[in-house]
Amino acid sequence: MGFFKKKKKPRKEPVDPFEDMAKMINEMMKSLMDTNFLDEDLFEKIQPGKPMVYGFSLKVGPEGKIKIDKFGNVEPTKQELRVKEEREPLVDVMNKEKEITVIAELPGVSKKDINLSLADKGKTLIIDVPNKFYKEVSLPEKAKMGKAHYKNGVLEVTLPKTGKRGKKIKVE
């Protein structure tokens, strides 16, 4: 009596999760180089006391899909480099079981100047510091009013899921 061995399936080569990310970074850099982002007039657009900030963060979502979030006050287009008055802060959104936590970097502002509100039926958090920062953050689920804390340039907003909309949040 002999033993029959099951035929093993051929192993696929391991997938490099950073391969797609490297391709996307190369495409973004090519896109920047194709614009007039680095034109000779760049230095004429810089004004004392008004920094030019352009950056992005790469995140891998729950489905394994890579998401790119841009931040800063520079908006490169095919025709020109546009510098906005307000910067988009670097923001991170964490979707927890019962709440959504949003962390935003807002250096050099006073907590009394921070305006927070929910819009779009609780699906968007608006962060507004007049003449400094502005960002509309898409939330993964509907949320209601919560708590916000600001310390050392970092704003942390905790929003319980599902509820009211369009009201202001007090920053502690």
Residue 112 structure tokens: 């009394």
Domain boundary among 85, 108, 134: 85
Q: Does 132 lie in the same domain as 71?
A: no
State how many domains the chain has: 2
Let me know whether 105 and 76 are in one domain. Answer: no
- pTM (predicted TM-score): 0.63
| CA distances for 161 relative to 38, 94, 108, 123, 156, angstroms | 43, 12, 30, 10, 16
Q: What confidence tens digit (pLDDT) does each residue in 81-120 have? A: 677 778 888 899 998 889 999 999 999 999 999 999 999 8
Task: Please indicate whether residue 33 or residue 102 has the higher confidence score (pLDDT).
Answer: 102
- Answer yes or no: is 8 within a domain: no
Q: Indicate if 113 and 148 belong to the same structural domain.
A: yes
Predicted local confidence at residue 163, as pLDDT: 47
Examine the domain organization and report whether 78 and 103 are in the same domain. Answer: no
Q: Is residue 9 one of the residues assigned to a domain?
A: no
Domain boundary among 69, 85, 101: 85
| Domain boundaries, position 20 | 15-85
